[in-house]
């Protein structure tokens, strides 16, 4: 794998999906159904407001009460545009399991300054567990930086720039 790896251990959070997203990304906007429809009509690919609809898609994930989780973050380097499925394949080759949305939310809650250690302001940490919404494969993302701390539900099959890190369980 060319690129960067970063290992980190964080306490798991135990809360509902909406509360976990709210804690991890307190500046995440809300968008009404009417505003979403207007944006889609303009051909926009919606990101942040969709996180509030993502929770129902991840009900199958066990969210343990306590304990730590060790994560490996993969980044594919400057001027790279990596599609999520390729990152997922590389993680599997390296024997890593995708981190759940709750695990990346743990990063947002417990490590809000992680972007400094990663040397990127801002940076997005992705949970490579895609779900289909509005005809687009999407994944949960926590944005960390000096001017923002948001959660998003971003397209996974589109090229993602080098500001994104893919989170896996070690």
Q: What distance in Å separates the CA atoms of residue 34 and residue 41, rounded to the nearest whole number? A: 11
Q: What distance in Å separates the CA atoms of residue 91 and residue 57, rounded to the nearest whole number? A: 22
Q: What distance in Å separates the CA atoms of residue 4 and residue 82, rounded to the nearest whole number? A: 13
Query: 130 burial class (0-12, 13-18, 19+ CB within 10 angstroms)?
Result: buried
Q: Which of 3-12, 39-48, 64-73, 137-146 has the weakest average pLDDT?
A: 39-48
- Collapsing DSSP to helix, strand or coil, 53 comes out as helix
Structure tokens at 91: 């993680």
Residue 125 neighbours by CB distance under 10 Å: 29
Strand-pairing partners, residue 73, are: 6, 167
Q: What distance in Å separates the CA atoms of residue 105 and residue 151, rounded to the nearest whole number? A: 8
pLDDT for the residue 53: 86
In tens, the pLDDT along 63-105 reads 666 789 999 999 987 666 677 888 899 999 999 999 999 999 9
How many CA atoms are closer than 13 Å to the CA of 58, on its beta-carbon side?
A: 27
pTM of this prediction?
Answer: 0.85
Q: What distance in Å separates the CA atoms of residue 166 and residue 125, rounded to the nearest whole number? A: 6
Q: Which of 60-64, 86-90, 106-110, 135-139 has the weakest average pLDDT?
A: 60-64
- Collapsing DSSP to helix, strand or coil, 141 comes out as strand
Tokens 């991840």 found at:
58
Structure tokens at 148: 């923002």
């Amino acid at each position: 794998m060319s690129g960067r790896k970063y290992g980190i251990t964080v306490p798991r959070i135990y809360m509902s999906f909406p509360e976990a997203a709210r804690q991890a990304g307190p500046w995440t906007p809300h968008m009404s159904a009417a505003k979403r429809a207007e944006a889609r009509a303009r051909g926009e690919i919606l990101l942040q407001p969709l996180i509030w609809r993502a929770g129902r898609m991840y009900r199958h994930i066990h969210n343990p009460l306590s304990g730590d989780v060790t994560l490996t973050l993969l980044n594919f380097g400057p001027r790279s545009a990596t599609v999520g499925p390729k990152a997922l394949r590389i993680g599997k080759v390296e024997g890593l399991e995708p981190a759940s949305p709750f695990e990346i939310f743990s990063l947002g809650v417990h490590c809000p300054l992680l972007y400094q250690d990663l040397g990127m302001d801002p940076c997005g940490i992705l949970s490579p567990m895609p779900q289909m919404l509005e005809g687009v494969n999407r994944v949960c993302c926590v944005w960390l930086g000096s001017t923002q701390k948001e959660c998003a539900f971003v397209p996974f099959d589109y090229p993602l720039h080098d500001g994104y890190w893919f989170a896996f369980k070690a």
